[in-house]
Amino acid sequence: MIIECSSCGRPNRLPAARLFNKAVCAACKVSLLPRTHPTSLASAQDFDELIRDAPAPVLVDFWAAWCGPCRTVAPEIEKVALQRAGELIVAKVDTEALPEVASRFGIRSIPTMIVFRGGKETQRLSGAMPASAILAELSL
């Protein structure tokens, strides 16, 4: 997976299986973990690696730039990532950029949030809502 440094913006390659280990930016040496922001997934391969190898539950937000409710829920997803840093991995999949991933999971409306545990879908939620409702509905 490619993790962008929150300090200098440099992209860093980090295997999904190491998302709870110590990791620092190759350029500025700032800690990359724990992830306090959602990670945007750039490819189906990154998505598959994350779901398969993640050492913790993964919350994936399926969204699109043209979607008003998606823009409304984006700051709420940020709050979830911040509140659950170190115990939950939060990722975003742009359904326009990765339609094959969205199709694989039958995404018909957005925003849709899916929790994966051990490589399997365990929960699903659709619609814009506050972070507190997302956490309560998805038992996170």
Cα 79 to Cα 37, 49, 96, 107, 135: the distances in Å are 8, 24, 24, 23, 10
Q: Residue 28 catalytic?
A: no
Q: Pick from 108, 118, 105, 116: which is nearest to 140 by CA?
A: 116
- The span from the CA of 124 to the CA of 107, in Å, is 10
Burial of 22 (0-12, 13-18, 19+ CB in 10 A): exposed
Q: Residue 5 catalytic?
A: no
3-class DSSP state of 77: helix
- The span from the CA of 98 to the CA of 93, in Å, is 7
The one catalytic residue in 8, 25, 28, 67 is: 67
The one catalytic residue in 5, 8, 28, 70 is: 70
Which residues are known catalytic residues?
Answer: 67, 70
